[in-house]
Structure 1
């Protein structure tokens, strides 16, 4: 079991930047000749967007993808200079600052073409854009019926540059639906080629479907879960590794007799003389309430069950069978302790979530601590205070 230095934080996440780099390298080897857009929206899936983006920039990432203008501008304010694409829809009032900060916009409707042309004229500059085609997601994007006309209009504009063309796979696990969407998109790209229009960045696939992207004409893939080591079952000679580990600590211990109701509503009743531990993390911190009475955590290298309801600030676990437990002991919620490991996929299966949600739910009280080598905390030294401050989001 790893020893942990005492700290005042209730709960914290260790972000292994080395694993981010390793996972990116794995993707590059698995997808040769494809540019990679790393999706860092939603605070890099809960990992801390600034630290992740800085590491990816060092690793020569081709593009960063965000969901909102605020996310993009925050990265620019934090010194990120890599190309950034806003994947989501923007309001007209957001466009001027986005363009001023050298952030690329995705077009989802013909009205956006008109708005961007007007803005480009005012600024007297040509604006690169991506056009999203809705081939089956039914959320954002221009229709397949009108996509060719919109692309031609952008290509013909002296004020806009069609840098990219993309679509979004709705059901990555359904091969039939994936193939249908790809077929619709291929028809559009083929029609554009016949018109002499070849956007340099063609992107269809995200992490789950990207491994088969080599069969198509895409030139870029959008990777989130692959980069963070959340996606399982990827092809390649080496697996990806989860970059985020989540920890808390025991703040209270108490022995209870058999038959004692525990927590709000008394949803758990002790079946024996039990030692229960209260840990300082709850649903406000991002721990799903659906873990109540069925999830497991790690204490001293052993799995311990969650008992009672997960509450706003605390969670209770049964440590009766764990010898030597004491207040201040490390609790691992995501990651490895000894020979045991809990992954986001396992938590997701208990809670009816997808693995991404487990890390995206992590709240503002969780201190993110980026590290670059295999350690819990940096060694004492001049950089310790800077790293220990982490990132609150």
Structure 2
């Protein structure tokens, strides 16, 4: 293979399917798989698994069984090929809930952004510890500058499909962002953004590259003002969790679908 042609032992991790039934070899075949990989010139430096339902329940008996299967596979692989330095199983939920899932390293994702993986994970923590001992602070915001401000007369249809007709003369802020950038179309006429620390309803359909807000109750809105679609502005906050609930999905999808083309600013 490539390893022999290059004259180096390419490092690989063996994925073990302990019950998610997605990627990986079954635990009973992990040692033979690792041995075969080594015989083909690969260096087995890691072994991994992934939990099936740790974020979906407060009953973690299945996850504990997965850990038992994984521990057996790790022991078998080490017996077959020697030391394996990187052993990993824990996603954010497992890293928060189970020290025994830490192994050599953990693969935190959503908690690195300051979000609990799910309500069930947070509840599991509270049930286990009786207190809220972990402080996760959302680190990601989605902000966009208003591209146009216009007045629309009462009764005039706004957006595709004419799905929104204001009952009063309305000041509309037009944002140059839409579902192409990862802001879900399912939020049409449902969500809110923040402008000057005040809630501004999303009105009309979310378009490919445009969102409209009702900013009638926000005084002095001008082109270039910042609208917050995710995050905090003053005392108000729009969370990924509430946006996900409105869109019929999970906070992971809201965060993961934000377009790579959006500029990232570290503050």
Is the pair's TM-score, using the shorter chain for normalization, greater than 0.5?
yes
Structure 2 residue aligned with 1:267: 163
Which whole-Å CA distance do the structure 2 matches of 1:274 and 1:217 have between them? Answer: 54
SS in 1 for 2:200: strand
Q: Which runs of 5+ in 1 are unaligned?
A: 1-117, 372-393
**1:124, CA displacement in angstroms?**
2.2
Which whole-Å CA distance do the structure 2 matches of 1:169 and 1:196 have between them? Answer: 25
Which whole-Å CA distance do the structure 1 matches of 2:71 and 2:224 have between them? Answer: 57
Which whole-Å CA distance do the structure 2 matches of 1:270 and 1:187 have between them? Answer: 63
**1:167, CA displacement in angstroms?**
0.6
Structure 2 residue aligned with 1:332: 228
TM score, norm. by length of structure 2: 0.84
Structure 2 residue aligned with 1:121: 4
Contact 1:247 1:330 in 2 (8 A): yes
TM score, norm. by length of structure 1: 0.59
Structure 1 residue aligned with 2:213: 317
SS in 2 for 1:202: strand
SS in 1 for 2:106: strand
The equivalences for 1:1-393 within 5 A come to: 118-154=1-37, 157=39, 159-173=41-55, 174=57, 175-192=60-77, 197-216=82-101, 218-231=103-116, 233=122, 237=133, 239-371=135-267
Contact 1:260 1:270 in 2 (8 A): yes
Contact 2:78 2:84 in 1 (8 A): no
Post-superposition Cα deviations, 1:162-219, rounded to whole Å, max 9, x if no partner, equal: 2111111122223233223222212322444566844221111111221234224722
Q: Which runs of 5+ in 2 are unaligned?
A: 127-131
Contact 2:186 2:246 in 1 (8 A): yes
Q: Is the strand fraction higher in 1 or 2?
A: 1
Which whole-Å CA distance do the structure 1 matches of 2:211 and 2:262 have between them? Answer: 15
User: Structure 1's 196 and 146: CA in aligned 2 closer, same or farther, altered over 3 A?
Assistant: closer
SS in 1 for 2:71: helix
**1:265, CA displacement in angstroms?**
0.5
Measured on the aligned residues, the alpha-carbon RMSD in Å equals 2.4
User: Structure 1's 364 and 209: CA in aligned 2 closer, same or farther, altered over 3 A?
Assistant: closer
